[in-house]
C-alpha cells in the first residue's frame, strides 16, 4: 500500500454528508430573505418650490442642527433640531414593494416654528409608516417662522404644507403612490401644515406653476399633540377623516384638541381622539413605559378601518 490515507466506506459516507451540508448551508446564506428596509428604494428629495418660497426676502444663516450635549433627550436619545431652513423640501421614503399599499403620508415635524425635530418627528415616523406599507414623505418646512413674519410665525409652515400636498398629488404617478390615498401628519407646531390643508380651503400664496392647480386637500389627517384651529377654518363634510392624539398633562393643548374634536363632531367630520392621562409633550414614536407611546398602534388600526392599508 502507498502512504495515501485509505477511507472506509463509513468514513466516505460521513465526508459526503458533510460536503452536502456545506453546500446546503451556502445555498441558505445566498437565499436568506433580504430585510424590507434593504429592498426599499433609496430616499429621494425634491425642493418644494421652483425658485424662492413665497415671502422669502430675508437672508438667514446656514441651515444647522442646534442640538447640544446638554439638550433634552427623548427616551434617552438625542433629537436632531434643524433651524434656519430657507429651502424647504420633501424627502420620500418608499416601503418594501412587497408590502406597498400605495398610501402615502406627508410628515411635518414640530419645533415651535423655531426648529424642526427632524428625526424624532420626521424620519423615524417615515420608518414606521414604511413598516406598514406606507410611503413616508418628510416635510422640511421653513423655520424660524418669526424671522419671516413676526405676527404670523405659522404662515411659512402653512404655505409649505399646502404646496407639499399639491406637489405630491400632482406627481403621484412619478412617486408610485395612489393620488387618492395621500395623508398628512404633524406633531406639535407641525400641526400647522396639517390644519391648513385639511381644515381650510383658501390657498395662502399665489400659484407658481401647474402643480398648484392640483388640490392641497389631503385624504386623511393626523394632528398629534397639536390642538387649536387654523385661521379661516372651514369645517364641513368635505374635510377628510381626522385622527388625534394628546396627553391630559400636555398643558392646555389637550383642551384645544378636545375643542377641535367637538367642532369636527358638530360639523359632521369623521374624527377619532385619544387622550392619555400622562405623557407630556414631544415624545414622537419613541417607546417608554407610558401608554401614550402606544398611539401608533391605534393609528394603524384606524388606517385599517378606512382601508388605507389594503393593497
pLDDT tens string 249-290: 999 999 999 999 999 999 999 999 999 999 999 999 999 999
DSSP string, 168-200: HHHTHHHHT--TTSEEEEEEGGGHHHHHHHHS-
144 Rama sector, left if φ>0, alpha if ψ -120 to 50, beta otherwise? beta
Question: Residue holding cell 385619544?
Answer: 274
CA distance 270 to 258: 14
Residue 39 CB contacts under 8 Å (≥ 6 apart), including other chains: 96, 97, 98
With CA atoms as reference, report the closest residue to 186 among 274, 271, 121: 121
Say if 23 falls within a structural domain. Answer: no
Q: What is the DSSP letter of 69?
A: T
With CA atoms as reference, report the closest residue to 309 among 44, 130, 42: 130
- Asked, as a colleague might, if the bond just before 144 is cis with ω within 30 of 0, I would say yes
Say if 222 falls within a structural domain. Answer: yes
pTM of the model: 0.87
> Which pLDDT value is given to residue 20?
46
**Proportion of the chain above pLDDT 90, given as a percent:** 83
pLDDT tens string 189-234: 999 999 999 999 999 999 999 999 999 999 999 999 998 999 999 9
Question: Tell me, what CATH number does 119's domain have?
Answer: 3.40.50.1820
Q: How many domains does the chain have?
A: 1
User: Which grid cell sits at 51?
Assistant: 425658485
Dihedral (Cα; 274, 279, 285, 288), 10-degree rounding: -130
Range of the domain at 158: 37-305
pLDDT tens string 84-138: 999 999 999 999 999 999 999 999 999 999 999 999 999 999 999 999 999 999 9
pLDDT level of residue 16 (50, 70, 90 thresholds):
low
> Which pLDDT value is given to residue 57?
84
> Which pLDDT value is given to residue 13?
52
Half-sphere exposure of 277 (CA within 13 A, CB side): 3
Say if 13 falls within a structural domain. Answer: no
Q: Look at residue 238 and tell me whether its pLDDT is greater than 80.
A: yes
Q: Look at residue 38 and tell me whether its pLDDT is greater than 70.
A: no
pLDDT tens string 145-166: 999 999 999 999 999 999 999 9
> Which pLDDT value is given to residue 146?
92
Say if 22 falls within a structural domain. Answer: no
CA distance 248 to 225: 10
With CA atoms as reference, report the closest residue to 134 among 165, 87, 102, 110: 102
Query: What mean pLDDT, rounded, does the chain reach?
Result: 90
Q: Look at residue 81 and tell me whether its pLDDT is greater than 70.
A: yes
Amino acid at each position: 500500500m502507498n502512504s495515501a490515507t485509505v477511507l472506509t466506506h463509513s468514513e466516505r459516507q460521513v465526508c459526503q454528508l458533510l460536503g452536502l451540508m456545506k453546500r446546503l448551508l451556502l445555498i441558505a446564506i445566498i437565499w436568506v430573505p433580504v430585510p424590507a428596509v434593504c429592498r426599499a428604494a433609496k430616499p429621494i428629495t425634491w425642493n418644494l418650490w421652483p425658485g424662492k418660497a413665497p415671502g422669502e426676502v430675508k437672508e438667514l444663516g446656514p441651515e444647522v442642527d442646534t442640538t447640544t450635549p446638554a439638550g433634552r433627550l427623548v427616551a434617552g436619545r438625542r433629537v436632531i433640531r434643524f433651524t434656519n431652513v430657507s429651502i424647504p423640501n420633501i424627502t420620500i421614503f418608499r416601503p418594501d414593494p412587497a408590502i406597498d399599499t400605495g398610501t402615502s403620508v406627508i410628515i411635518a415635524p414640530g419645533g415651535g416654528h423655531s426648529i424642526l425635530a427632524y428625526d424624532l418627528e420626521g424620519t423615524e415616523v417615515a420608518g414606521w409608516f414604511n413598516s406598514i406599507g406606507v410611503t413616508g414623505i418628510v416635510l422640511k418646512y421653513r423655520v424660524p417662522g418669526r424671522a419671516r413674519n413676526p405676527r404670523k410665525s405659522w404662515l411659512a409652515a402653512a404655505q409649505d404644507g399646502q404646496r407639499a400636498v399639491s406637489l405630491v398629488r400632482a406627481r403621484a404617478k412619478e412617486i408610485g403612490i395612489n393620488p387618492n390615498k395621500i395623508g398628512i401628519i404633524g406633531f406639535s407646531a407641525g400641526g400647522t401644515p396639517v390644519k391648513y390643508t385639511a381644515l381650510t380651503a383658501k390657498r395662502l400664496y399665489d400659484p407658481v406653476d401647474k402643480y398648484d392647480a392640483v388640490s392641497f386637500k389631503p385624504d386623511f389627517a393626523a394632528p398629534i399633540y397639536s390642538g387649536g384651529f387654523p385661521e379661516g377654518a372651514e369645517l364641513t363634510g368635505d374635510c377628510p377623516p381626522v385622527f388625534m392624539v394628546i396627553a391630559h398633562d400636555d398643558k392646555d393643548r389637550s383642551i384645544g384638541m378636545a375643542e377641535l374634536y367637538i367642532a369636527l363632531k358638530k360639523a359632521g367630520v369623521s374624527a377619532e381622539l385619544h387622550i392619555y392621562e400622562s405623557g407630556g409633550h414631544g415624545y414622537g414614536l419613541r417607546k417608554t413605559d407610558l401608554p401614550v407611546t402606544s398611539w401608533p398602534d391605534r393609528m394603524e388600526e384606524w388606517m385599517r378601518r378606512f382601508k388605507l392599508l389594503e393593497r
